[in-house]
Amino acid sequence: MVKSKSAYSDPGKKGKLDTHIIVVWVDNEAGVLARVVGLFSGRGYNIESLAVAEVDPKRGISRITIVTTGTPQVIQQIKLQLGKLVPVHKVADFMRGDKKIIFKEMALLKLVGNNSKRNKALKVCKKFNPVVLDKTQKSVVLQITALRREIDTLMGDLKKFGLVSVSRTGAVAMTRGSEIFK
């Protein structure tokens, strides 16, 4: 691509991209998710995964967990822009590699095949403590909680054992120890 010489349209230097987990506490009211997601799309930020649910029914607070990538400057902007939204109570953010934080994603996996295939499949997922939610002569539905990349790998491994359908959630996060998010 020809580098533009324009004083006004040069995008400038690209910084290094980091993956962050942003946790947002919001009033659980109509349109609040649209506000948060609209902020991301409107300003060109990236959403890798998203998990939302009410966590405090009494006060009507929902917790949104967003996995996003961006330069440090963009991550800072995301936090500050989120903080400006009226229904947002607080915003926490940390790097994906942070040792003090637990991340988990859940996946439901449906496998179709004979008994031996299914047993082999169960063996493959054993270290993720699979829970069998449904079982028939021909099929099994497993529940797995693990990291995103672990589930990615698992899906690859399970292909040959009759994996026919996958349903995944976004990541949720929690601090280790007695600390809570500030």
Partner 1 sequence: MSKLYTGAEIVFKCMEDQRVEFIFGYPGGAVLPIYDELKNHNSIKHILARHEQGAGHAAEGYARSCGKPGVVLVTSGPGATNVVTALTDAYMDSIPLVCISGQVPTHLIGTDAFQECDTTGITRPCTKHNWLVKDVKDLAKTIHKAFEVATTGRPGPVLVDIPKDIQFQKAKYTNFKKQKKLNGKSNNRFSKKDIDKLIEMMGKAKQPIFYTGGGVINSGPKASEELRELVSITGFPITSTLQGLGSFPGDDNQFLGMLGMHGTYEANNAMHDCDLMINIGARFDDRITGKIDEFSPKSKKVHIDIDPSSINKNVKVDLPIVGDVSEVISLLIKTIKKHKPNFLKSNKENISKWWEQIGKWRSVNSLNFINSDKTIKPQFAIQRLYELTKNKDTFITTEVGQHQMWAAQHYKFDKPNRWMTSGGLGTMGYGLPAAVGVQIAHPDKLVVDIAGEASVLMTMQEMSTAVQYNLPIKIFILNNEYMGMVRQWQELLHEKNYSESYTAALPDFVKLAEAYGCVGIRAKTPDELDQKIQEMIDVKKPVIFDCLVDKEENCFPMIPSGKPHNQMLLGPNDQKENKITGKGKTLV
- Evaluate the CA torsion angle 160, 166, 171, 174 in order and state its sign: negative
Subset of residues 114 to 153 that bind partner 1, contact rule: CB under 8 A: none
Asked whether position 3 contacts partner 1 by CB under 8 A, the answer is: yes
CB of 59 to partner 1, least distance (A): 16
Q: Per-residue contact track with partner 1, 151 to 170, x per CB under 8 A?
A: --------------------
Nearer to partner 1 by Cβ, of 77 and 143: the residue is: 77
Distance of CA 175 to the CA centre of its chain: 16
Which residue do the tokens 């991209």 mark?
Answer: 17
Asked whether position 84 contacts partner 1 by CB under 8 A, the answer is: yes
Asked whether position 76 contacts partner 1 by CB under 8 A, the answer is: yes
CB of 72 to partner 1, least distance (A): 9
Strands (E), the chain: 18-27, 49-56, 61-70, 88-95, 101-112, 131-135, 139-146, 163-168, 172-175
Which residues on adjacent β-strands are paired with residue 50?
66
Which residues on adjacent β-strands are paired with residue 65?
23, 51
Residues that bind partner 1 (CB under 8 A): 2-10, 12-13, 30-31, 34-35, 38, 42, 73, 76-77, 80-81, 83-86
